Amino acid sequence: MRYHGAPARYLTFGGLDALGLPHATTTRHCPGIGPSGAPGSPFGAESIAVLAESGLDLRRAAWARQVHGAAVVEVSAGGFAGVADVLGTREPGVPLAIFTADCLAVTVVDPEGPALAVAHVGWRGTVRGGARAAVDAAVAAGGRRERLRAALAPSIGPCCYEVDAPVIDEFRRAYGPRWEAWTRPGRPGHWMLDLWSANEAILAEAGVDAQRIENPRLCTACHPDLLHSHRRANRGRLATIAALR
């Protein structure tokens, strides 16, 4: 990832930068990120100004009320998109925004389509196939699976993400014994869950070339100086935003 500002106010992905895709993941040092689950814009004047440097016009951004699912909304214009955890578009210049504080934000793009999708994916979204839904949304918007590139924004890592038996039961029901490859034992009755590896595997199975999945493996809980983490009571929101040219 590339860090922008001192201290860094937002991060970008090298692979998406190479495509010329306007995008950013904010840090705790980016001001003006407000509540994201209602019709009023979650972006204040300061964040609009900061992220304009990345080529994003947040006055045209689209966002949704995220509910830890895999529902998709196809976006054709900015503003509140309703209740969904996946947004897709084929419209240039309309930034799609996802908000996280430990969950993954997944960006999937085919710049030749052009087609773009973003997804909010925590453990529930992983169980419900949020990453696959993002790939399908990009394809529905005109992308081709063999051309897709994906990026996983910072989230809580397997170093810090402890879950209990009810969570593992959900993974077992959704994926059978494969859940074992995405966990390691923790304290009794608990496991350390690797959302990164799980969603990399799901994206690859959905048709994204594994070599085109960018994942910095940057843990929100391990970097309180840079990122917000709900698990570490380092409260606040990170925004991941991308737009087609």
At residue 37, the pLDDT reads 79
Q: What mean pLDDT comes out for the span 191-203?
A: 98
At residue 84, the pLDDT reads 98
Structural domain of 194: 2-242
The CATH number of residue 114's host domain is 3.60.140.10
| Bridging pattern class, strands 149-152 and 104-110 | antiparallel
pLDDT in tens, 14-23: 999 999 999 9
String of DSSP letters for 124-171:
HHHHTTHHHHHHHHHHHTT--GGG-EEEE--B--TTT-EEEHHHHHHH
User: Which strands sit side by side in the sheet containing 23-26, from one edge to the other?
Assistant: 2-4, 10-12, 23-26, 238-242, 96-100, 62-65, 79-83
Query: How is residue 224 annotated by DSSP?
Result: T
Distance of CA 23 to the CA centre of its chain: 12
Q: What mean pLDDT comes out for the span 165-176?
A: 98
The answer for residues whose C-beta is within 8 angstroms of residue 181's C-beta and 6 or more apart is: 197, 201
Write down the mean pLDDT value for the chain: 96
How many folded domains does the chain comprise?
A: 1
pLDDT in tens, 21-75: 999 999 999 999 987 778 889 999 999 999 999 999 999 999 999 999 999 999 9
pLDDT in tens, 73-123: 999 999 999 999 999 999 999 999 999 999 999 999 999 999 999 999 999
At residue 233, the pLDDT reads 77
Share of the chain above pLDDT 90, in %: 94
Q: What are phi and psi of 77, to 5 degrees?
A: -155, 165
pLDDT interval class at 146 (50, 70, 90): very high
Nearest to 127 by CA among 200, 202, 197: 202
At residue 74, the pLDDT reads 98
The CA distances from residue 137 to 73, 96, 133, in Å, are: 8, 13, 6
At residue 208, the pLDDT reads 98
The CA distances from residue 177 to 94, 141, 171, 194, 210, in Å, are: 40, 33, 9, 15, 22
- Cα(13)–Cα(24) distance, rounded to whole angstroms? 8
